[in-house]
Structure 1
Amino acid sequence: MKILIIQMKMIGDVLTSSILFEALREKYPEAELHYLVFEHTLPIVENNPFIDYVIVYKKDQRFSELAKNIRAQKYNVVIDVLSNLKTAMLTGISGAKIKVSYDKFYTRRVSTHVFSRNIQAKTIAGSAIEKRLRMLSPLSPDFPTEIKPKIYLTETEIEKAKATLTASEIDLNKTIYMIGALGSNHKKTYPLPYFAKLLDQIVGSTKAELLFNYMPSQRGEIEKLFDLCQPGTQQHIHLNIYGKNLREFLALTYHCDALIGNEGGGVNMAKALNVPSFAIFAPPLNKSNWNMYEDGNKNVSVHLKDYKPKLFEVKPEKQLKKEWEPFYQKFLPELIENDLHQFLKNNSK
């Protein structure tokens, strides 16, 4: 049996959807399992032992070329986790006997099975995990309802990151936190003046060393955040130690006691490395969609709705996406500090 899973989206989505391969490999050990992803997300599934082959869709590649390739593979099963117009086209022309998608008016025309994205989570795994695993039910009724995403680092990568930290005179016996101060865009980034106050709290209570997850193009924003911190906090910040690429970031995070920052790919990657995480959700986001494996101890998330639910009673999602900035202004660091304090207490040396 030959199976294709399609997830041409962002890092967190690709990582989360990779759980399907572990489930499929357990059920069908002889199956040939392929994954279709964007080129920039390839490092997140590197060394994954459950994936036989990754089809990489590059920015400059013609879609017609990709479609021809998919058709030529002669898949028995296609599972379209993204389910947009382009991936629905790929699913439709694949020729697969079983074609699984999320329920949209255009996927109904090309798929043999469709599922709603709207589900109520029944386990600590959360809806992001459960709704993906449910897409395997047309193949068999007895797949698991929860699997944790995993990232596979090599010993060489781990040791290289350790050497980087040691060479920078960072004591691995002290608490080290990876900070995800910048979201994927402004709408998913906790205000920097507020974040600076959280960093002051972190260093004040733990004396931790702080590393940052950022790209060179974001250095200016990170320096703004640095300048907003208290001098005592600045002494614990190491801006020159950062992952030059995604795999380096992962290896550095592996050595951290936790990742603290905006909800997104970084938080999902930390969880997949079994590194504790404290996530700040952007006001327009539905927390229940992505609060995977939260236990109030090792993995914690906060949302403005947790503290001021009345603000969201008459605000539809579309309106929240347009009016995100005023909501962020109401998301004061004072609201978060007690939850953050407990998290730091549970996840520091």
Structure 2
Amino acid sequence: MKILVIQQKMIGDVLVSSLICENLKLNYPNAEIHYLVNRFTIPVIENNPYINKVVVFEDEYRSSKFAFYKFLKNIRRAKYNIVIDAYGKLESNLISLFSGAKTKVSWKKKYTKFIYSHTIDISKTPQTRSGLAIDNRLKLLSPLNLKSVLRSKPKIYLSESEIERAKSKLEKFNLDLSRPLYMISVLGSDILKTYPSEFMVQILDHIVDYSNAQLIFNYIPYQKQEVLKIYNLCQDKTKENIYLGISGDSIREFISITSHCDALIGNEGGAVNMAKAIDIPTFTIFSPWIDKETWSSFEDGKKNVSIHLDEIIPSYFEVKRYKDLKPKSLELYKKLEPKFVIHKLNSFIDHIND
């Protein structure tokens, strides 16, 4: 039996949907599990023992109809028995349709229901501590009537050599590994998912004062100038404890470096999901327009903690849809003052340093 799981989009989505692959393999150990993802997300599923083959959706398939058609023909030739479409957009609709699989499962939408043999309603309220992102994706398995469905954390599988190379890199910077070491997601993927710089500076100064920690910044190369602005606004003591020269040259190296950290702290995004997938404690600052119920997975108030503006002014969110708040994000961020973040952050730091 051959099964195709489709999850294009971002790193967090690909990690979460890898749980579909894991559950399929555990229930059908002799099946071939193929996972269709975008190329840049492959590092988070390397070495995953529950995936037999990664099928790459290249960028050119969006710009070239001919290239996309050739790709669809290859999907058809693969003769999949089951397709689980966790993406549910036009590209994956067409892939599912062309697959010819007898069993095809995806989200319930009026305009695509003719493509799939089974369609699933998206839940709006989390049923478990796993969070909505995981709860909903595992619902896609319900038509298969599996004997058991595990709700474990998504996992990233690092090799011993990757972990050792990262440790050697840290040692070259003369880090004191007896002191706390925190990876900081200092910026979000865009400005609407980024805690205001002037507030982040206060958080960084507080972290160093409160815990005597050493800090490594996680950021995308094109964000370097913004990162330097934040660094330059920090107190001198904080600057002395920020190691700007340490950066992962690849996603795998970033993950390996993070594996040696005591926690990841900062803006919500893929880095948080990667840290959780290697069992590193996380403290997440959510953008006001992001629904925390979806992505605050496995939070326990101790090892995995987050803060959202809805904790400060819950009445505002009772009458608003999160996505409607996106244009107001920069304004709303101002209401999530550092004092609120620091109050919750202190408890998190105290717990992980016990």
Establish whether TM, by shorter chain, passes 0.5.
yes
Gaps in structure 1 of 5+ consecutive residues: none
Structure 1 range deviating more: 304-313 or 153-162: 304-313
2:160 to 150, 155, 173: 155
The question of 1:87 aligning with 2:67 is answered: no
The question of 1:251 aligning with 2:259 is answered: no
Give 1:348 shift.
2.8
Which SS does the other structure have where 2:182 is aligned?
strand
Identify the residue that residue 231 of structure 1 maps to in structure 2: 236
Count of aligned pairs between the two proteins: 349
Identify the residue that residue 64 of structure 2 maps to in structure 1: none
Give 1:141 shift.
4.4
Identify the residue that residue 112 of structure 2 maps to in structure 1: 107
The question of 1:121 aligning with 2:126 is answered: yes
Give 1:13 shift.
0.3
1:262 alignment partner AA:
N
Identify the residue that residue 7 of structure 1 maps to in structure 2: 7
1:192 to 174, 197, 204: 197
Contact 2:23 2:150 (C-alpha < 8 Å) held by counterparts: no
Identify the residue that residue 78 of structure 2 maps to in structure 1: 73
Identity of paired residues, percent? 47
Contact 1:6 1:78 (C-alpha < 8 Å) held by counterparts: yes
Equivalent-residue separation in structure 2 for 1:151 and 1:138 (angstroms): 27
Which SS does the other structure have where 1:330 is aligned?
coil
Equivalent-residue separation in structure 2 for 1:121 and 1:142 (angstroms): 22
The question of 1:176 aligning with 2:194 is answered: no
Which runs of structure 2 are paired with 1:125-140 in the superposition (5 Å)?
A: 125-140=130-145
1:211 alignment partner AA:
I
Equivalent-residue separation in structure 1 for 2:95 and 2:341 (angstroms): 44
Q: Deviations over 1:257-278 (max 9, x none)?
A: 0000111110000000000000
Identify the residue that residue 216 of structure 1 maps to in structure 2: 221
1:310 to 284, 291, 315: 315
RMSD of equivalent CA atoms: 1.2
Give 1:182 shift.
1.1
Gaps in structure 2 of 5+ consecutive residues: 62-66
Identify the residue that residue 327 of structure 1 maps to in structure 2: 332
Give 1:118 shift.
2.2
Contact 1:270 1:277 (C-alpha < 8 Å) held by counterparts: yes
TM-score (norm 2): 0.96
2:194 alignment partner AA:
T
Contact 2:5 2:84 (C-alpha < 8 Å) held by counterparts: yes
Equivalent-residue separation in structure 2 for 1:141 and 1:23 (angstroms): 9
1:249 alignment partner AA:
F
Identify the residue that residue 288 of structure 1 maps to in structure 2: 293
TM-score (norm 1): 0.97
Give 1:279 shift.
0.5
2:346 alignment partner AA:
H
Q: Deviations over 1:2-56 (max 9, x none)?
A: 1000001100000110011111111110000000000100111001011000011
Give 1:119 shift.
3.9
Equivalent-residue separation in structure 1 for 2:99 and 2:246 (angstroms): 45
1:59 alignment partner AA:
D
Contact 2:27 2:147 (C-alpha < 8 Å) held by counterparts: no
